[in-house]
Chain A
């Protein structure tokens, strides 16, 4: 059954160094992601998580190995990266424009996307007038505007307070269920990874490799303070600590 569906992302033996003589940042990494799958990647700071997403989004080139995406990906950053000279609505319209959406429908589509993230009133607001959580929701809407099958998220909620982050977890899962996107979500927060992912991948540092994966199979909506999440999170945290101790 599983083999009949082509994966959206297939990474084989990916190796990355930023310069010829520089350290290996990512070392022969293999990873396959299925359509509509939600995969969370955890790892210590500096282990190459951002590098991996940048390669997948085309911002960086692999040094060797192959990266195959059967659809284009959109990428969301830790800071919202909304363009401050445009309103929330116009930020989304720019994404629509640059991905070739017909001009006459852009405004209506942007409004629809704002409704998707529960911000229908925010069309004319400037990024600086929005709270951090609202900015990240607009950024989600802008990423979805690009109409891609893959959403890459690089610690998108780590600058937010716990209450807002909790809410955005719920929102993100709802949007993922509604859109059927494949999501690759990078975080250094183990509980967040377990709260969100169907699969949690632990990366080692220096060089970055996948050391272990966990299948998280209990149903959404999960709560970040539930026993199930805590149970998985403590197992993963133990491994992560061992990995960090290895570098002491």
Chain B
């Protein structure tokens, strides 16, 4: 007679369960990637590269000055430019100018964002609306917004409103267009998944459409900021009045009027530095974060 061992049903089930769990865990560990890390030297190179670029530009500049390629009233030395910035700082002009310009840029950008976002969503989701409105937006985007400065001055006088109007005309089309492309590029599966999960109307927009369109939207925001900053400088350069207070564009104009090339270059450098800082400190981290979260970073 063969010897049968009695095993209760629930014990068999439990054993099966245990085995299934270990099998799962084993496969998971085999299959999932353990996260590749960029090496320290690569990261260091990435941090140093922009500094190296600055050093090279400064060196060439200084060399041209030493070789007396042009008289210093045409091409002042880096030290002279720094000097004139220090002077502006000591007169209490540099920081308020930069802050005032940055404030106008940020406010104008924020208003642009509030206007462009609903427009972008509406046009992204509605093909008929888009057929009518997109050519207008694209036309506006092609037009350098400086072209609006005279009109804005006539409409709004020499006030912050003029400057905001010019920023808006520069930034709104870029942001809206970015959002529309972002919506166009949403893989249909996410919209279907959203529907199946029960997202309708506004919930679908906030939980599915906008996050799914985010990469395109973000690109639009970056471009919108660049346009806003440029438009702002153009507007400040043309619209000058005591009522507007100090600004980097105004500083540029002062330099021109005094024939002070050091001041002009100093203002240019400041405008560039502010632009680069906003990109590095605001947009770049957001972009990196987005790419990393969505697993789009390894590819590049």
Chain A residues numbered 89-140 whose CB sits less than 8 Å from any CB in chain B: 94-95, 98-99, 118-119, 126-134
Tell whether A131 pairs with B196 under 8 Å between CB atoms, given A83-B190, A126-B295: no
Tell whether A85 pairs with B294 under 8 Å between CB atoms, given A59-B195, A129-B35, A167-B20: yes
Interface residues as binary, B207-239 with A (CB distance below 8 Å gives 1, 0 otherwise) = 110011010000000000000000000000000
Whether a CB of chain A sits under 8 angstroms from the CB of B128 is: no
> CA–CA, A94 to B21, complex, Å?
26
CB–CB A164/B294 < 8 A: no
CB–CB A83/B211 < 8 A: yes
CB–CB B293/A85 < 8 A: yes
CB–CB A59/B196 < 8 A: yes
CB–CB B293/A126 < 8 A: yes
Tell whether A57 pairs with B207 under 8 Å between CB atoms, given A84-B295, A129-B32: no
Whether a CB of chain A sits under 8 angstroms from the CB of B154 is: no
CB–CB B196/A74 < 8 A: yes
CB–CB A164/B27 < 8 A: yes
Give the segment of B64-72, B100-108, B197-205, B276-284 that binds chain A: B197-205
> CA–CA, A128 to B187, complex, Å?
15
Whether a CB of chain A sits under 8 angstroms from the CB of B189 is: yes
Residues of chain A within 8 A (CB-CB) of B293 are: 84-85, 126
> CA–CA, A82 to B190, complex, Å?
8
> CA–CA, A142 to B193, complex, Å?
11
Tell me, rounded to whole Å, the shortest Cβ–Cβ distance linking B241 to chain A.
Answer: 46
CB–CB B193/A77 < 8 A: yes
> CA–CA, A187 to B20, complex, Å?
23
> CA–CA, A126 to B289, complex, Å?
12
> CA–CA, A97 to B208, complex, Å?
13
Tell whether A98 pairs with B197 under 8 Å between CB atoms, given A126-B294, A167-B27: yes
CB–CB B32/A95 < 8 A: no
Whether a CB of chain B sits under 8 angstroms from the CB of A146 is: yes
Residues of chain B within 8 A (CB-CB) of A83 are: 190, 193, 208, 211-212
Whether a CB of chain B sits under 8 angstroms from the CB of A170 is: yes
Whether a CB of chain B sits under 8 angstroms from the CB of A163 is: yes
Chain B residues numbered 121-167 whose CB sits less than 8 Å from any CB in chain A: none
Residues of chain A within 8 A (CB-CB) of B294 are: 84-85, 126, 128
Residues of chain A within 8 A (CB-CB) of B190 are: 81, 83
Number of interface residues of B (CB under 8 A): 31
CB–CB A134/B28 < 8 A: yes
CB–CB B31/A171 < 8 A: no
CB–CB B203/A98 < 8 A: yes
Whether a CB of chain B sits under 8 angstroms from the CB of A75 is: yes
> CA–CA, A153 to B134, complex, Å?
40
Residues of chain B within 8 A (CB-CB) of A142 are: 197
The residue of chain A having its C-beta at the shortest distance from the C-beta of B35 within the complex is A129
Tell me, rounded to whole Å, the shortest Cβ–Cβ distance linking A2 to chain B.
Answer: 27
Residues of chain B within 8 A (CB-CB) of A146 are: 197-198
Whether a CB of chain A sits under 8 angstroms from the CB of B268 is: no
Residues of chain B within 8 A (CB-CB) of A231 are: none
Whether a CB of chain A sits under 8 angstroms from the CB of B256 is: no
Whether a CB of chain B sits under 8 angstroms from the CB of A79 is: yes
Whether a CB of chain A sits under 8 angstroms from the CB of B185 is: no
Tell me, rounded to whole Å, the shortest Cβ–Cβ distance linking B128 to chain A.
Answer: 20
Residues of chain B within 8 A (CB-CB) of A77 are: 189, 192-193
Tell me, rounded to whole Å, the shortest Cβ–Cβ distance linking B23 to chain A.
Answer: 6
CB–CB A94/B197 < 8 A: yes
The residue of chain B having its C-beta at the shortest distance from the C-beta of A139 within the complex is B193
Residues of chain A within 8 A (CB-CB) of B25 are: 118
Tell me, rounded to whole Å, the shortest Cβ–Cβ distance linking B293 to chain A.
Answer: 6
> CA–CA, A93 to B50, complex, Å?
42
Whether a CB of chain A sits under 8 angstroms from the CB of B33 is: yes
Whether a CB of chain A sits under 8 angstroms from the CB of B46 is: no
Residues of chain B within 8 A (CB-CB) of A85 are: 211-212, 214, 293-294
15 contacts between A and B (CB under 8 A): A59-B195, A59-B196, A75-B196, A77-B192, A83-B212, A84-B293, A98-B199, A128-B294, A128-B295, A130-B32, A131-B28, A134-B28, A164-B27, A170-B20, A171-B24
Given contact pairs A77-B193, A83-B190, A167-B23, enumerate 9 new A-B contacts (beta carbons under 8 Å): A83-B212, A95-B197, A98-B203, A126-B293, A128-B295, A129-B295, A133-B27, A133-B28, A174-B20
Binding site for B on A (CB under 8 A): 57-59, 74-75, 77, 79, 81-86, 94-95, 98-99, 118-119, 126-134, 142, 146, 163-164, 167, 170-171, 174, 221
